[in-house]
Amino acid sequence: MRLFTKDRVILSAVGLALLLGAALGVPLGLRLSGAVRPFAGDEPGPVREERLTGDEEAVVRAVERVGPSVVKISVTQRGYIDGLFGRVPSEQTGLGSGVIIDRSGLVLTNHHVVEGAEEIVVGLPDGRVFEGRLVGTYPAADLAVLRIDGDDLPVAELAPGEPLRVGQLVIAIGNPFGLDYSATTGIISALGRELAVDAGLVLTNLIQTDAAINPGNSGGPLLDREGRVIGINTAILRGRQDLPAQGLGFAIPIADALEVAGELLRHGRAVRLGVLAGTLTPEIARAIEAATGVSPGTDRGVFVRAVSPGSPAEEAGLVPADIIVEAAGRRISSVEELARVVRERGPGARLPLVVLRKGERLPLVARL
């Protein structure tokens, strides 16, 4: 889970889960010889559906429908620490969540859940435990794909083309603080959010929800009332010490997640341009002109905030404050449009760009 303080992020699916798990006395690892508690509990009691409201019945059905495909991911990191007698080996474990998206054993989760992991163990609610193999990871979208080998694997239904609306009921499932297979409910609070995180990374086109998302939920699914996966839970916003925030969770839309997963499966990596950028709006354009005294020359496009060293963007000549207005001959008015064009071109492709630099049009070409 990503925890935000101001505009900083603490990746806590590994480290924080370990500390909190130890404090709360909950198990943090999975053993290959062990068992995982069933999703509904060891001895579920009878449910009297006649006492449930329509929304409650929808939640129960959705959880029962997708629950078997929500997995618990235990990771092990090994390294060294400086001790009294020199460097000594150390081992850390942590938890995250994931969801099975294909009968071949593909599991979708977050990059920060498996980052640096030397061992990945995937547990199913039915008690089966598998070794997880990393297919690929894409830090820029905080997504990763794992593969497990098993028979009759439960698969979640995905809804990549389902239109989403602010206010609709959603359900988050995962393993918060090591508490196996927990479900929370809420609504979609907003769509199309951008969120700046560590290392100059901006996650875009996020679903904002007030469904409770906690450390350990990372990589778990966000569902609609039909039990279909509409997003992958990735982050929460904590606010500041003097201004705490509640009910600010974020998920990656499943359509975006599947596009990245497809690239990882086809190429072993996801293509990137290598810019930290945001969508330029008329309001932001006016603010830029007021701050610099220079008109940006447009009020629509992608405003480049930073360029990653050694990236295709740097090699193409992009610099901070450039505004990308065209890519591959198409008008670009948002970060999401630019990312879509980059993914469509694929690794190794030429990407013609048109940027505005201090109001002047400049053609560039990036090699992805």
Tell me, what CATH number does 361's domain have?
2.30.42.10
* Distance separating alpha carbons of residues 319 and 305, to the nearest angstrom: 8
Is 112 annotated as catalytic? yes
| Number of C-beta neighbours around residue 134 at 10 A | 14
Tell me the pLDDT tens digit for each residue of 151-210.
Answer: 999 999 999 988 999 999 999 998 877 677 788 999 999 998 888 766 556 788 899 999
- In a shared domain, residues 228 and 333: no
- In a shared domain, residues 246 and 281: no
270 within some domain: no
Q: Give the residue-averaged pLDDT of 52-78.
A: 89
Tell me the pLDDT tens digit for each residue of 80-114.
Answer: 666 655 666 666 777 889 999 999 999 999 999 99
Tell me the pLDDT tens digit for each residue of 17-55.
Answer: 333 343 333 333 333 333 444 444 445 555 554 687 878
* Distance separating alpha carbons of residues 165 and 283, to the nearest angstrom: 24
Contacts of 208 (CB under 8 A, 6+ apart): 188, 189, 190, 191, 193, 248, 249, 250
pTM of the predicted structure, to 2 decimals: 0.71
- In a shared domain, residues 192 and 152: yes
- Tell me what pLDDT residue 133 has: 94
For residues 40 and 8, which has the higher predicted lDDT (pLDDT)?
40
222 within some domain: yes
The active-site residue, picked from 12, 112, 180, 256, is: 112
- In a shared domain, residues 311 and 356: yes
CA dihedral 117, 228, 224, 49 (to 10 degrees): -110
Question: Angle 352-325-282 (CA atoms, 0-180°, nearest 5)?
Answer: 170
Is 142 annotated as catalytic? yes
- Tell me what pLDDT residue 30 has: 38
Is 111 annotated as catalytic? no
- In a shared domain, residues 233 and 290: no
Which residue range(s) make up the domain with 305? Answer: 275-367
- Tell me what pLDDT residue 36 has: 43
- In a shared domain, residues 252 and 355: no
- In a shared domain, residues 189 and 251: yes
- In a shared domain, residues 130 and 156: yes
The active-site residue, picked from 69, 74, 111, 142, is: 142
- In a shared domain, residues 171 and 244: yes
The residue out of 237, 261, 285 marking a domain boundary is 261
Which of the listed ranges 22-26, 246-250, 314-318 does the model predict with the highest average pLDDT? Answer: 314-318
160 within some domain: yes
- In a shared domain, residues 230 and 289: no
Of 79-88, 301-310, 340-349, the range with the lowest mean pLDDT is: 79-88
**Under 8 Å between Cβ of 305 and 276:** yes
* Distance separating alpha carbons of residues 154 and 139, to the nearest angstrom: 27
Side-chain half-sphere of 7: how many Cα atoms within 13 Å?
8
Strands 350-357 and 330-331: unpaired
DSSP string, 230-263: EEEEEEEE-EETTEE--S-EEEEEHHHHHHHHHH
For residues 175 and 225, which has the higher predicted lDDT (pLDDT)?
225
- In a shared domain, residues 223 and 337: no
* Distance separating alpha carbons of residues 127 and 109, to the nearest angstrom: 20
267 within some domain: no
The residue out of 261, 292, 312 marking a domain boundary is 261
- Tell me what pLDDT residue 26 has: 37
Number of structural domains in the chain: 2
Q: What is the CATH number of the domain that holds 233?
A: 2.40.10.120
The residue out of 198, 232, 261 marking a domain boundary is 261
The active-site residue, picked from 12, 97, 189, 218, is: 218
Q: How would residue 11 be classed by pLDDT, with cut points 50, 70 and 90?
A: very low
- Tell me what pLDDT residue 354 has: 95
Measure the N-to-C terminal CA separation of the chain; round to a whole number of Å: 30
- In a shared domain, residues 218 and 306: no
Tell me the pLDDT tens digit for each residue of 262-273.
Answer: 988 887 777 888
Q: Give the residue-averaged pLDDT of 223-234.
A: 94
Residue with token string 């198409």? 330
- Tell me what pLDDT residue 12 has: 38
Q: How would residue 122 be classed by pLDDT, with cut points 50, 70 and 90?
A: very high
- Indicate the average pLDDT of the chain: 81
